[in-house]
Amino acid sequence: MCGIIGIVSDKQVESYLIDGLKRLEYRGYDSAGIATVNDHQIHRRRSAGKLGNLQALLQHEPIQGQIGIGHTRWATHGAANTENAHPHSSREVAVVHNGIIENFFDLKKQLQKKGHKFESDTDTEVIVHLITDYLHQGDQPLKAVQKTLTDLHGAFALAILFKDDPNTLIATRQGSPLVLGIKENELFVSSDAVAFAPWTQQVCYLEEGDLVVLSKEPKFNYVLYDRTGHKVERPLRRSQITGESVSKAEYSHYMLKEIFEQPTVLSDTLQSLLNFENQMITLKDVNIDWNTLDRIQIIACGTSYYAGLVAKYWFEKWAGIAVDVEIASEFRYRNPVLSPNSLSILISQSGETIDTLAALSLLKENEHQVLALVNVPESSIARKADHVLQTLAGPEIGVASTKAFTSQLMVLACLSLKIGRERGVIKPDTYDSLVQALVSLPGMISHVLQNSEDYQKLALSFTTARNCLYLGRGITYPIALEGALKLKEISYIHAEGYAAGELKHGPIALIDLTMPVVVLAPYDEWFEKTLSNLQEVIARGAQLLCLTDQKAAEKIKQQVKSVCQIEIVVLPFVDSFIEPILYTIPVQLLAYYIALLKGTDIDQPRNLAKSVTVE
Local structure of 21: helix, strand or coil: helix
| Residues labelled catalytic | 2, 610
Q: How far apart are CA 3 and CA 21, in angstroms?
A: 7
Whether the Cβ atoms of residue 133 and residue 111 lie closer than 8 Å to each other: yes
Percent of the chain that is helix, strand, coil (3-state, to 5):
40, 25, 35
Phi first, then psi: give them for residue 34, nearest 5 degrees.
-140, 160
The set of residues, in sequence order, having a beta carbon less than 8 Å from that of 87 and lying 6+ positions away, is: 33, 34, 35, 44, 46, 69, 70, 71, 94, 95, 96, 161
Residue 206 DSSP code: P
Which candidate, 20, 378, 390, places its Cα nearest to that of 208?
Answer: 378
- How many degrees, rounded to 5, is the angle at CA 325 between CA 321 and CA 331? 130
Closest CA to 347 of 283, 292, 393, 411: 411
- What are the helix (H) ranges across 114-239? 125-136, 141-151
CA–CA dist 235, 247 (Å, integer): 28
- Residue 260, H or E segment: helix 254-260
* Alpha carbon distance 142, 483 (integer Å): 49
CA distance 477 to 472: 4
Q: Which one, of 307, 228, 221, 239, lies nearest residue 23 by Cα? A: 239
Rounded CA separation 150/144 (Å): 10
What is the number of alpha carbons within 13 Å of residue 38 lying toward its C-beta?
17
How many angstroms separate the CA atoms of 89 and 135, rounded?
Answer: 14
Residue ranges of alpha helices (H) inside 315-374 are 328-331, 354-365
The pairing of beta strand 387-390 with beta strand 274-275: unpaired
Beta carbons within 8 Å of 576's beta carbon, 6+ residues apart: 474, 475, 522, 524, 525
